[in-house]
Chain A
Amino acid sequence: MKMHDKVWFPVLYMFLATLFFSAILIVFGAFTRQRVEDNERIAFERAVLEAVPIELAKRISPAEIHRLYVENIRDATPQTGGALLYMKDDSLIAYALPLDGPGFWAPIKGVIGIAQDMRMITGIAFYEQNETPGLGGEITKPQFRNQFEGKKLATGGVPLEMRLPTEALDESSVHAITGATQTSTRFADFMNEQLRAWRATVEER
């Protein structure tokens, strides 16, 4: 084809090809966007419910998650320092503080539940992370998360200390994940920073 020899043909071709494939991607993206956003919304709501002391069935449908969330969780206000509230019959049972910070590979996003006394932890759950599966990725597993329940935030210094798997624990510390020191320490750093900021905001009322 004679067109091939023209100088402008490759540029035009590249431009058209990019346009064509990008158009398909954009259409597909628009088509799935609602689903993706719903999935992300449900993941967040699920994490909030898992962080506070609510009974959740093992297999729970997205519709059920949303229903429980709407029924029991109140939005954050400036007075709550960004934390959502788990209310039952108009009384506060627990705070649900969203956590968001850098992990080893990508941002880690989770929710930590703190009881009304602002000291005892009711649970922790993650709704976004991209850490190494089997290592940093273990933060989403019950083994890591269960250690948080019942722990108390320390009044001074580091609210919740991340210790090496070999060290002993007290009521204000948890074990890091074996082989995932980076993920564990990065998470602990921003978790504590955000816990401190939250406490300061709420305490000054």
Chain B
Amino acid sequence: MPGQIRTRDVVINGLWVDNPVFHQILGICSALAVTNLVINTVVMSVAVIFTTALSGFTVSLLRKWTPRVIRMMVETLIIAFYVILFDQALKAYWPDMSRSLGPYVGLIITNCIIMGRAEAFANANPPGISLLDGFFSGAGYALVLIAVSIVRELLGMGSILGIPVPFFSTQLDRWIIMVMPPGAFFTLAVIVWILRSLQQSRSGETGK
């Protein structure tokens, strides 16, 4: 096992170096589906951070006992557990938000980021640092997604978090395409382009 992994490395990894969305290109499904409104993206991000952190923690706790051959099934079980828990809690304590998030609950379970972190990190590291790694990978995901959703909601509906923004809601014509699938693809493509170029020029070598 490698030497003690520093907290600082985990933070920078999750948010920038190994950013799950624009560097590893994971979790794209929900990156496209949820980002037409900022509020949904925020709630989805909270759900992903919660799930990735806690499932990383749990997978790490069990890593010495889990047989290799059923490893992925157990990971999926743990992830599904936290997602259903989150969904049930919403239904009970914040029903309006639960109704908005409804169709996307299933998407969280198959979100490749969560499984990816469990496989790549939680399986081989202690619980404490796995929790942090999960948290910051989720945060890295959140940052990119919120950026995409701000662009899409601003251009597509002239608002952010439902509040109309001057100029965008009054003078600029709405770009309906931003609210629909192609807009999602294009916005994400541009943001990935910008962030990857930044990352590559800083490290001075080709990305993955």
Contact = CB atoms under 8 A, between A and B. Distances in A.
Direct contact between the two chains A and B in their complex (CB within 8 A): yes
A21 B103 contact: no
Contacts of A130: 99, 102-103
A53 B92 CA distance: 29
Which among A17, A28, A35, A106 has the greatest number of chain B C-beta atoms within 10 A?
Answer: A17
Nearest to A130: B102
Contacts, number: 76
B161 to A, nearest CB: 12
Interface string A1-35: 10010000110011001100100110011001001
Interface stretch (A77-85, A132-140, A144-152): A132-140
Contacts of B102: 105-106, 130
A135 B74 CA distance: 37
A128 B102 CA distance: 10
A32 B88 contact: yes
A35 B92 contact: yes
Interface string A108-140: 000000000000000000001110111101000
B186 to A, nearest CB: 16
A36 B91 CA distance: 6
Interface residues of B, number: 33
A39 interface: yes
Interface string B167-192: 00000000010011000000000000
Contacts of A18: 77
A13 B67 contact: yes
Interface string B73-116: 11001100100110011011101000110110000000000000
Given A4-B67, A129-B99, A134-B37, A24 B91 contact: no
B70 interface: yes
A178 interface: yes
A4 B67 CA distance: 7
Contacts of B81: 21, 24-25
B77 A17 contact: yes
A43 interface: yes
Interface of A: 1, 4, 9-10, 13-14, 17-18, 21, 24-25, 28-29, 32, 35-36, 39-40, 43, 105-106, 128-130, 132-135, 137, 178-179
> Which 8 A-B pairs rank lowest in CB-CB distance, beginning with the nearest?
A130-B102, A32-B92, A10-B67, A35-B92, A39-B95, A21-B81, A10-B70, A134-B36
